[in-house]
């Protein structure tokens, strides 16, 4: 069922090594997002472990990495601040159930409706967000706890180590692909900093900067195994009213980011993941998070790109990342605390360069202006707000542009047949966007007494189209003229209030359905 191992030993080695690289990069991200959500660092680390392990086992996209993310962390802030972390755990459990439901209802397929310009805007915006997030590593806290930009020797060392990391990642694969270049870069830079005693901030320095002064002295990433505990909240209707809005937003944001990341990896690897299975996997992982003290999360595009670029393709890579992360928490905290931040920032900068769709600059003048606008819009909204809002805005704008363009496609060809009736041969769809143009095509006042509207090359797509036909029929009736609607679908004939004898039955009548709720009334 799980197919943990791929066919070749080379792939197994690549999965193990890439998973180890990802585990090292997960630590500062999980800690940072825990602070964003207002919870303790271990809550974020537990989430990274459980999300990564469970989604790798039962999710729909081998090679994709899940964990605590900024997209979900920002949703949690107000809930934790107002009601405490136990309400967060309860909300994460409910979020998981909602995601499982979405998977069982097969809603994951709707990610295919996201247009390509929205996808381009998504990856470009996300690359910018990842880049901007790394700039925080160039700040240090002073004695008063205020952050300011690095200066002098520390800044030069930071920049130099980042550049060294990026050069190793870029050039090492040209010499050998036996080990992931990102892992080699992290190890080399760490040894260099320790051996030369360079003034570079480490992971534990980052943690100390985020904690109050009285807690920073004893800060550590060492932890214990997460333990099972039902969230300590009242099981009442009032509690449900508090957590449900947060759970719904978390579920939506998590699924959008996960499914878009899945689609991106599909394109990179030329394979196809299973969206509905991923929804279920994300849901199970979040539900388990809530009862084991994790903050939940979703797919992480940055870590997923590190994994894919390092050769990780199978489920084993994600499992390795999760297990190594847990081992680091339990037994290797002292080692991981020594990793210099410049090494991790350099890895993420390479992710930014690989994630950004540089070809969008080349094609921006060759594609329709509306598509170019959508790319820029989605990128901007992703940076200014968050991924979920950006994708929703992008899809809505794309749909409106599509509707506007197709609204212009409706027209008629008219002629007088042998019986002296005027025939309107309709072309194009009748829907909410084209109704206004449709009404202007007819002239009931000046038409002859017998009029035929031919629908063989037209379709009524929604309730707005039905209402437009009804209104047109009424206009002809008021003029005392006979109107025939030929080749209209049976459902349309049933929905027309003024149909009476307007519709002519023909063996060529189409059998399509109309988007309307009128039949349910």
pLDDT tens for 361-407 read 888 888 889 999 999 999 999 888 877 788 889 989 998 898 888 88
pLDDT tens for 87-110 read 999 999 999 999 999 999 998 877
The CA-to-CA distance between both ends of the chain, in Å, stands at 46
| Between residues 456 and 234, the one the model is more confident about | 234
Q: What pLDDT sits at residue 181?
A: 85
Residue 117 pLDDT exceeds 60:
yes
pLDDT tens for 245-299 read 999 989 988 998 899 899 889 988 888 889 999 999 999 999 999 999 999 999 9
Q: What is the mean pLDDT of residues 191-212?
A: 86
| Between residues 518 and 98, the one the model is more confident about | 98
Residue 489 pLDDT exceeds 80:
no
Residue pair 165/347 in contact (Cβ under 8 Å)? The answer is yes
**Residue (of 90, 101, 98, 93) closest to 235 by Cα position:** 90
Q: What pLDDT sits at residue 293?
A: 93
Q: What pLDDT sits at residue 7?
A: 46
C-alpha separations of 17 from 25, 168, 308, 310 in Å: 13, 16, 11, 8
pLDDT tens for 15-27 read 999 999 899 888 8
- Distance of alpha carbon 124 from alpha carbon 514, whole angstroms: 38
Predicted TM-score (pTM) of this structure: 0.72
SS3 463: helix
pLDDT tens for 429-485 read 888 889 999 999 999 999 999 999 998 888 888 888 888 888 888 888 888 888 888
Neighbour tally for 91: CB within 10 Å:
32
Q: What pLDDT sits at residue 469?
A: 86
What is the bridge-based pairing of β-strands 450-454 and 422-430? parallel
**Residue (of 194, 150, 189) closest to 168 by Cα position:** 189
- Distance of alpha carbon 390 from alpha carbon 375, whole angstroms: 10
Q: What pLDDT sits at residue 188?
A: 93
Burial 19-31 (b: 16+ CB within 10 A, else e): bbbbbbbbbbbbb
- Distance of alpha carbon 384 from alpha carbon 128, whole angstroms: 11
- Distance of alpha carbon 156 from alpha carbon 171, whole angstroms: 22
Neighbour tally for 171: CB within 10 Å:
10
Look up residue 108 and give its DSSP letter.
G
Q: What pLDDT sits at residue 506?
A: 45
- Distance of alpha carbon 15 from alpha carbon 468, whole angstroms: 59
| Between residues 62 and 139, the one the model is more confident about | 62
Neighbour tally for 342: CB within 10 Å:
26
Least confident range of 325-329, 370-374, 436-440, 500-504: 500-504
CB-based contacts of 217-224 (< 8 A; 24+ apart in sequence)? 220/333, 220/337, 221/27, 221/31, 221/41, 221/45, 221/328, 221/329, 221/333, 221/336, 221/337, 222/329, 222/330, 222/333, 222/334, 223/42, 223/45, 223/46, 223/329, 223/330, 223/333, 224/330
Residue 518 pLDDT exceeds 70:
no
| Between residues 161 and 345, the one the model is more confident about | 161
Residue pair 469/518 in contact (Cβ under 8 Å)? The answer is no
Please, which pLDDT band fits residue 5 given cuts at 50, 70 and 90? very low
Which domains, from first to last, does the chain contain? 9-378 (no CATH), 411-520 (3.30.750.24)
Q: What pLDDT sits at residue 513?
A: 65
Please, what is the average pLDDT of the chain? 86
């Amino acid at each position: 069922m799980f197919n943990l191992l791929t066919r070749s030993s080379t792939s197994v080695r690549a999965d193990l090594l890439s998973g180890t690289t990802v585990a090292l990069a997960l630590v500062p991200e999980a800690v940072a997002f825990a602070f964003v959500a207002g919870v303790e660092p271990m809550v974020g680390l537990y989430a990274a472990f459980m999300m990564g392990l469970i989604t790798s086992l039962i999710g729909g996209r081998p090679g994709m990495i899940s964990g605590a993310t900024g997209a979900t962390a920002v949703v949690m802030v107000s809930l934790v601040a107002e009601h405490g972390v136990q309400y967060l755990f309860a909300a994460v459990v409910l979020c998981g159930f909602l995601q499982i439901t979405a998977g069982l209802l097969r809603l994951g397929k709707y990610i295919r409706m996201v247009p390509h310009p929205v996808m381009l805007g998504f990856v470009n915006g996300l690359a910018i967000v990842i880049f901007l997030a790394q700039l925080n590593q160039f700040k240090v806290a002073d004695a008063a706890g205020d952050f300011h930009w690095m200066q002098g020797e520390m800044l030069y060392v930071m920049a130099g180590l980042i550049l060294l990391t990026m050069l190793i990642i870029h050039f090492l694969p040209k010499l050998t692909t036996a080990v992931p270049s990102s892992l080699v870069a992290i190890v080399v830079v760490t040894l260099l900093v320790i051996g030369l005693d360079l003034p570079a901030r480490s992971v534990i320095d980052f943690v100390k900067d985020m904690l109050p002064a009285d807690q920073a002295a004893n800060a550590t990433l060492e932890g214990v195994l997460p333990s099972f505990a039902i969230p300590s909240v009242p099981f009442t209707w009032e509690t449900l009213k508090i957590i449900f809005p947060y759970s719904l937003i978390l579920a939506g944001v998590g699924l959008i980011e996960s499914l878009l990341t899945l689609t991106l990896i599909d394109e990179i690897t030329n394979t196809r993941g299973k969206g509905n299975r991923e929804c279920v996997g994300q849901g199970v992982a979040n539900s388990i998070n809530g009862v084991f003290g994790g903050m939940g999360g979703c797919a992480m595009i940055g870590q997923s790109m590190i994994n894919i670029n390092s050769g990780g393709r199978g489920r084993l890579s994600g499992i390795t990342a999760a297990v190594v992360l847990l081992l680091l928490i339990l037994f290797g905290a002292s080692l991981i605390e020594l990793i210099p931040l410049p090494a991790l920032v350099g890895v993420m900068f390479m992710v930014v360069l690989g994630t950004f769709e540089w070809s969008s600059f080349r094609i921006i003048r060759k594609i329709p202006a509306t598509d170019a606008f959508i790319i820029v819009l989605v990128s901007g909204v992703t940076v200014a707000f968050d991924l979920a809002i950006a994708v929703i805005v992008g899809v809505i704008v794309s749909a409106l542009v599509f509707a506007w363009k197709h609204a212009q496609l409706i027209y008629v060809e008219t002629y007088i047949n042998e019986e002296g009736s005027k025939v309107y041969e309709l072309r194009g769809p009748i829907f909410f966007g084209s109704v206004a143009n449709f009404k202007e095509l007819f002239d009931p006042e000046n038409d002859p007494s017998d009029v035929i509207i031919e629908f063989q090359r037209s379709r009524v797509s929604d309730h707005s189209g039905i209402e437009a036909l009804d209104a047109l029929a009424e206009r002809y009736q008021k003029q005392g003229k006979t109107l025939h609607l030929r080749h209209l679908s049976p459902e349309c004939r049933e929905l027309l209030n003024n149909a009476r004898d307007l519709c002519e039955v023909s063996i060529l009548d189409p059998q399509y359905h109309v988007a309307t709720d009128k039949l349910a009334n």
